[in-house]
Amino acid sequence: MSYLRGFSSKEVEILEVLDGDTVKVLLDDKIEKVRLMYIDAPELEQTGGNEQKCINIGKLSKFTLKKLIKKKTMILKWKSRDRYKRILGFLISGNKNLNFEMIKQGQSVVYWFTQFYTMKDKIKYLTAQSYAMKRRVGIWEYGNFYDPYKFRKKIRKKASTQRQCSENHFL
């Protein structure tokens, strides 16, 4: 992670885990939302599986991020904000990048529109996602789910959502 040298870096207090890829932090006495870079976690109302075993993978992803955040304070490394004015950054605990851990544990997917800072990162994240898929861990265990980006797009098109588990849409 030596390329993160050009990033701003600060110890922040984690106030709340909003979902599997967004947290609320206290940064310089100001409450900020942080969107974890490179990853896209299922939406909180998103499910996976089938009629016999339908799991809320959005809540599962959020729960996993909460478990990964063992300390109230962590290092936040960031460079910019998104169109919603959220900080785009990496959460670091010791020598662990929590963004990468979420991919590795199968709790999020690589965000489609990510512009990686290095080719090494791109390969690392995509390889970890592929490995999680093959091992069927995290959200991949249940299958039959929309990619989070496609899910959000579908929700915007449909005012009333149907139970996703009954539909056969795969990533």
In whole angstroms, give the CA distance from residue 169 to residue 127.
23
Q: What is the pLDDT of residue 166?
A: 53
Tens-binned pLDDT, residue by residue, of the chain (171 aa): 555 667 999 999 999 999 999 999 999 999 999 999 999 999 999 988 887 888 999 999 999 999 999 889 999 999 999 999 999 999 999 999 999 999 999 999 999 888 898 999 999 999 999 999 999 999 999 877 778 888 888 877 764 445 555 554 444
Residue 144 within any structural domain of the chain: yes
Whether 149 is in a domain gets the answer yes
Tell me, what's the pLDDT at 99? 98
Residue 37 lies in a domain: yes
Strands 109-110 and 22-27: unpaired
For residue 40, being part of any structural domain is answered with: yes
Judge whether 125 and 111 are in contact, CB under 8 Å: no
* Residue 116, domain member (yes or no): yes
- Is 47 within a domain? yes
Q: Evaluate whether residue 169 is within a structural domain.
A: no
Q: Is 138 left (phi over 0), alpha (psi -120 to 50) or beta?
A: left
Confidence (pLDDT) at 163: 53
Q: Tell me, what's the pLDDT at 147?
A: 85
Per DSSP, the chain holds a count of helices (H) and strands (E) of 4, 10
Asked if 66 and 60 touch (Cβ cutoff 8 Å), the reply is no
Q: How confident is the model at residue 52, as a pLDDT?
A: 82
157: exposed, middle or buried (Cβ count in 10 Å: 0-12, 13-18, 19+):
exposed
Q: What is the structure's pLDDT at 168? A: 44
Full domain range(s) for residue 122: 2-160
Secondary element (H or E) of residue 156: helix 148-157
Indicate which CATH number applies to the domain containing 48: 2.40.50.90
Q: Is residue 81 situated within a structural domain?
A: yes
Q: In total, how many domains does the chain have?
A: 1
Tell me which residue has tokens 């922040």.
12
**Residue 69 token pair:** 């955040």
The answer to whether 129 and 114 have CB atoms below 8 angstroms apart is: no
Amino acid making up residue 115 = Q
The pTM score is 0.87
Count of all residues that appear for the chain in the document: 171
pLDDT at position 66: 97
